[in-house]
Structure 1
Amino acid sequence: MELIQENPDLSAYLAADEVIDHHHPLVRETAARLARDAVDSYAYAHLAFDFVRDTIPHSNDSGDPRVTWRASDVLEQGTGICYAKAHALTALLRAEDIPTALCYQRLRHDAGAGHCVHGLVAVRFHGAWHRQDPRGNKPGVDARFSLNGEQLAFLPDREEGELDHPVLYTAPHPAVLAALKAAPDRSYLWETLPAELA
């Protein structure tokens, strides 16, 4: 699949905003701590991915009712669904000047009916974008950091109406952010996840 940059200017994939708040002290502190053990940008990206994937539980897997959406809040509260975890990883990577995009898949909803949008990231290395999924592993899900072929949590089943969205966004998609901000708790959010990206 060919990935399409929303913005041709790579610096846009380093920007901070209210969600990807990589100038926040907690984001900077976490990035600096991870960077101490990294010999280069690739090693740092791998460490940051593993950190978000493994130390911040996916709130639906853990049963945590809290809804987080701002990167610093995800790190502070230690919880989030796929979108929130993608926001946290994006902030940590951009904090170390690694161009990072937000991207999405359309998958069957875990609730059993319809579809929902799933969030992940893409990192820029060696002149190309590489998608990564920090969602968190569980039985049947084994996502890994890789620049040599994708190792994502989910592979869309086209016969089920699932698909990969090719656009690489500089900021969270408005439908995703609206759902996160409107949700009083994770149970409500689970029922109101966007099914499509307009």
Structure 2
Amino acid sequence: MIYTMKSPNISAYLEASEFIDFDHPKVRIIADYLQERLMQRVSLEPNKILYDPELELARLTYLLVRDEVAFTYDIGKQDVTIKASDVLTKKHSGCFGKSHLLAALMRANGIPAAVCYQYLRLDDGDNAPLILHALNAICPESVGSWFRLDARGNNDSVSAEFCIDEERIAYPVDPGRGETDLSLLFAKPDYSVIRVLNQYTDASVLRLHLPDKIAGRYWES
């Protein structure tokens, strides 16, 4: 896929914002913790890690968000979490909050990160409504191009991994069912997504009204 940066300057994908709030102390602490984990890995396997510590840091960051922050609907929680710092507080979120957290932690450690979206069918039926799913793309300096990651969290039917050359995301689209990967890379969350998420505090109610279209412009508070 050829990606289109909504913000033309890569520096926009390194900035803190209302929902990608890596300037929050809680997010900074976890970003620093990931740096410490990287140094521990270097000390244990220097020959393996030193060739590209940035990629190893990105991998550790991805695994933390994928595996240590639960997917709200997998664990039956009701809180709706949107900001990266709130996701850390609650230790769970849906795809939107998890994408904001992954972007925040990547950016906190100097790795450009975007939020991106897919149109997916809500269930297996061809007549099921299309909804938006959020994931991320990152652009490490050593790679020099964007590649997507999905930190939704794995289960019996979802198997996503940190891969550069062969993408392994949670939900590969089925074009025959009208599903679509959107190529636009957002430096901030889409306006329509946040407008919908802000209307609900109960995740079970939100599930009935999930965002189903992008505005193509940023949310500005």
The TM tier, using the shorter chain, reads over 0.9
SS of alignment partner, residue 128 of structure 1 = coil
How big is the shift at 1:110? 3.7
Q: How does 1:58-137 map to 2 (within 5 A)?
A: 58-110=71-123, 113-125=128-140, 126-137=143-154
Q: Name 2:48's counterpart in structure 1.
A: none
Q: How does 1:187-198 map to 2 (within 5 A)?
A: 187-198=204-215
Q: In structure 1, what residue type is equivalent to 2:21? A: D
SS of alignment partner, residue 117 of structure 1 = strand
Gaps of at least 5 residues in structure 2 are 43-52, 216-221
SS of alignment partner, residue 36 of structure 1 = helix
**Alpha-carbon spacing, 1:172–1:189, altered in 2? closer, same or farther (3 Å):** same
How big is the shift at 1:95? 0.3
Q: How does 1:147-162 map to 2 (within 5 A)?
A: 147-162=164-179
How big is the shift at 1:136? 0.3
TM-score (norm 1): 0.97
Q: CA RMSD in A?
A: 1.2
User: 1:44 & 1:4 partners in 2: Cα distance?
Assistant: 25
Q: In structure 2, what residue type is equivalent to 1:176? A: V
Q: In structure 2, what residue type is equivalent to 1:9? A: N
Q: Which consecutive segments of 4 or more residues in structure 1 shift more than 3 A? A: none
* Larger Rg computed on CA atoms: 2
SS of alignment partner, residue 121 of structure 1 = strand
SS of alignment partner, residue 77 of structure 2 = coil
CA deviation profile, 1:127-178 (whole Å, cap 9, x unmatched): 1001000000011210001112211001110111100000000000111111
User: 1:131 & 1:31 partners in 2: Cα distance?
Assistant: 20
SS of alignment partner, residue 182 of structure 1 = coil
1:175 to 192, 197, 212: 192
* Number of corresponding residues: 198
Deviates more, 1:176-185 or 1:64-73: 176-185
User: 1:71 & 1:177 partners in 2: Cα distance?
Assistant: 13
Q: Name 2:32's counterpart in structure 1.
A: 32
TM-score (norm 2): 0.87
User: 1:127 & 1:48 partners in 2: Cα distance?
Assistant: 19
How big is the shift at 1:111? 8.8
User: 2:100 & 2:123 partners in 1: Cα distance?
Assistant: 21
